[in-house]
């Protein structure tokens, strides 16, 4: 019995919006790679707007007093889905507002995928 099935371009491919957080503001390490500290995948939503609200409003205290930055990554069904600058949004913690807010993605993430 063959269980292999390939996705076709006209299949309905509803994405998920995954929240990935970093324990420090990314900076380049000695090798030239972004050093983000500890990374934690805290969950996902089926609606982009819900994921953004979760970041803005720090739902369930996702910051946990340690996370400083992160991404909302758009993923479609399949294996090894890459998240490039076209399908991710960068956020940093804002102490004054108590949430994560959109920032311009640092240039060094240009050739990096999660």
pLDDT in tens, 94-111: 999 999 999 999 887 876
Residue for token pair 């998240």: 83
Task: Please tell me the distance from the alpha carbon of residue 36 to that of residue 22, in angstroms, as a whole number.
Answer: 5
Asked whether residue 60 is domain-assigned, the answer is yes
How would residue 9 be classed by pLDDT, with cut points 50, 70 and 90? Answer: very low
Number of H helices, E strands in the chain: 1, 7
Asked whether residue 103 is domain-assigned, the answer is yes
pLDDT tens digits for range 34-75 = 888 999 999 999 999 999 999 999 999 999 999 999 999 999
Predicted local distance difference test score (pLDDT) of residue 4: 52
Residue count of the chain: 114
Beta strands per DSSP E along the chain: 16-22, 27-28, 34-35, 39-45, 69-75, 88-94, 99-102
* Phi and psi at residue 72, to the nearest 5°: -105, 120
Asked whether residue 87 is domain-assigned, the answer is yes
Asked whether residue 1 is domain-assigned, the answer is no
How would residue 86 be classed by pLDDT, with cut points 50, 70 and 90? Answer: confident
Asked whether residue 8 is domain-assigned, the answer is no
In the predicted structure, residue 2 carries a pLDDT above the cut 70: no
Tokens (6 digits) for 73: 């990554």
How would residue 114 be classed by pLDDT, with cut points 50, 70 and 90? Answer: low
Asked whether residue 57 is domain-assigned, the answer is yes
Provide the domain limits for residue 65.
16-109
Asked whether residue 93 is domain-assigned, the answer is yes
Which ranges of the chain would DSSP assign to H, the alpha helix?
48-56
- Tally of domains in the chain: 1
């Amino acid at each position: 019995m063959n269980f292999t099935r390939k996705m076709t371009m006209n299949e309905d491919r509803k994405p998920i919006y995954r929240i990935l957080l970093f324990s420090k503001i990314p900076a380049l390490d000695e090798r030239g790679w972004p050093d983000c500290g500890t990374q934690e995948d805290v969950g996902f939503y089926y609606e982009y707007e819900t994921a953004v609200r979760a970041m803005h409003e720090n739902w369930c205290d996702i910051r946990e007093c340690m996370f400083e930055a992160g991404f909302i990554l758009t993923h479609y069904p399949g294996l090894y889905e890459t998240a490039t600058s076209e399908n991710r949004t960068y956020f940093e913690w804002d102490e004054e507002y108590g949430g994560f807010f959109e920032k311009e993605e640092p240039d060094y993430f240009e050739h990096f995928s999660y």
